[in-house]
């Protein structure tokens, strides 16, 4: 840690409320706490708590991660350890007999700062939930790791997914065991997982209106051709499926790389629309 970084961290901790927040988050551990719980524990207005949490995050002492519909705050243990290490690394000029070798009280710093893992629920929709949405579900399950949970559904689901699509997914190394065609109504009941993103993959969902998945869901439209309408020889249809897979994978790679913590719902909506239109979103750090 550089002296300027240490000074910024100490400045952030110079306010009693922030010290109390850090202690609460240290007690909570890696799972963290919602901002509302922190505000209630300290008896502070939500806006005041958010102001202090933002200062701690800028100093590298805490981190905010979206989990479902909540923003969870957790202490950055690596940041705290670096700050303590900065204080103790020159202890007594290397003479531990004078200070008890304070620096050795800290175990070795891990290679990575294993913080919280965001858990975004993503639902892909198309008319029959037999091809495009099935393919997107499988791809995101591979690309998303623990940060994303993928599902798919349809307005008028067929009995089974498209066999050619399943064969293509298996050829690309996907496990297709749990993939099935299902109605979007499975995701509207009180016990259904709450969606963060709902992405439609066809030009238009004819028939019944799309269900209400909640006021906080971010929607996007990525229109793609329907494999059921592919014609030509087996080789030609296989080539079209390859193109469809590649297009979905490219879009989903861009999607999972978005800076979710720094984007509000309207900005995320614009990013989804950009991806659906074949335009790679521009972030502060470049493309």
CATH of 3-105, one of 1.10.3210.10, 1.10.10.10, 3.90.1150.200, 3.40.50.300: 1.10.10.10
What is the chain's pLDDT, residue by residue, as a tens digit (287 residues)? 678 888 888 888 888 999 999 999 988 877 788 888 899 999 988 888 888 888 888 888 888 876 655 678 888 877 888 887 777 777 666 665 566 555 555 555 444 444 434 578 899 999 899 999 999 999 999 998 878 999 999 988 989 999 999 999 999 999 999 899 999 988 887 778 888 899 999 865 555 566 777 667 888 899 888 888 888 898 998 999 999 999 999 999 999 998 876 677 778 888 888 898 755 444 433 33
Q: Which candidate, 18, 63, 72, places its Cα nearest to that of 44? A: 18
Give CA 225 to chain center in angstroms.
Answer: 27
For position 111, what pLDDT does the model report? 46
For position 141, what pLDDT does the model report? 94
CA 60/CA 5 separation, integer angstroms: 9
34: its two tokens? 């919602």
For position 65, what pLDDT does the model report? 73
For position 102, what pLDDT does the model report? 56
In the chain, where are the structural domains located?
3-105, 120-276
3-state secondary structure the chain: CCHHHHHHHHHHCCCHHHHHHHHHHHHHHHHCEEHHHHHHHHCCCHHHHHHHHHHHHHCCCEEEEEECCEEEEEECHHHHHHHHHHHHCCHHHHCHHHHCCHHHHCCCCCCCCCCCCCEEEEEEEECCCCCHHHHHHHHHHHHCCCCEEEEEEECCCCCCCCHHHHHHHHHCCCCCCCCCCCEHHHHCCCCCCCCCEEEECCCCCCCCCCCCCCCCCEEEECCCCCHHHCCCCHHHHHHHHHHHHHHHHHHHHHHHCCCHHHCCHHHHHHHHHHHHCCCCCCECCEC
Are the beta carbons of 43 and 64 closer than 8 angstroms?
no
Q: Which candidate, 141, 100, 101, places its Cα nearest to that of 122? A: 141
Question: What is 120-276's CATH number?
Answer: 3.40.50.2300
Angle at 133 between CA 127 and CA 134, to 5 degrees: 120
């Amino acid at each position: 840690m550089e002296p300027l970084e240490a000074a910024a961290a100490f400045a952030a901790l110079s306010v009693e409320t922030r010290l109390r927040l850090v202690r609460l988050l240290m007690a909570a551990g890696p799972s963290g706490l919602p901002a509302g719980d922190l505000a209630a524990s300290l008896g502070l207005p939500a806006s005041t708590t958010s102001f202090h949490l933002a200062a701690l995050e800028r100093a590298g002492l805490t981190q905010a991660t979206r989990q479902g519909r909540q923003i969870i705050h957790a202490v950055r243990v690596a940041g705290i350890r670096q700050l303590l290490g900065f204080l103790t690394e020159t202890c007594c000029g290397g003479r531990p007999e004078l200070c008890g070798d304070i620096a050795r009280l800290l175990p070795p710093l891990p290679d990575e700062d294993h913080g919280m893992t965001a858990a975004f629920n993503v639902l892909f929709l198309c008319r029959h939930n037999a091809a495009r949405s099935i393919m997107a579900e499988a791809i995101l399950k591979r690309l998303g790791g623990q940060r994303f949970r993928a599902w798919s559904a349809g307005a008028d689901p067929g009995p089974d997914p498209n066999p050619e699509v399943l064969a293509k997914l298996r050829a690309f190394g996907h496990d297709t065991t749990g993939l099935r065609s299902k109605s979007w109504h499975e995701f509207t009941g009180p016990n259904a997982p709450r969606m963060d993103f709902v992405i439609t993959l066809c030009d238009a969902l004819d028939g019944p209106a799309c269900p209400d998945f909640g006021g906080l869901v971010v929607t996007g439209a990525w229109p793609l051709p329907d494999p059921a309408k592919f014609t030509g020889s087996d080789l030609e249809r296989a080539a079209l499926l390859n193109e469809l897979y590649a297009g979905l994978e490219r879009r989903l790679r861009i999607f999972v790389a978005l800076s979710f913590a720094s984007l509000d719902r309207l900005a995320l909506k614009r990013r989804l629309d950009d991806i659906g239109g074949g335009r790679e979103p521009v972030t502060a750090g470049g493309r």
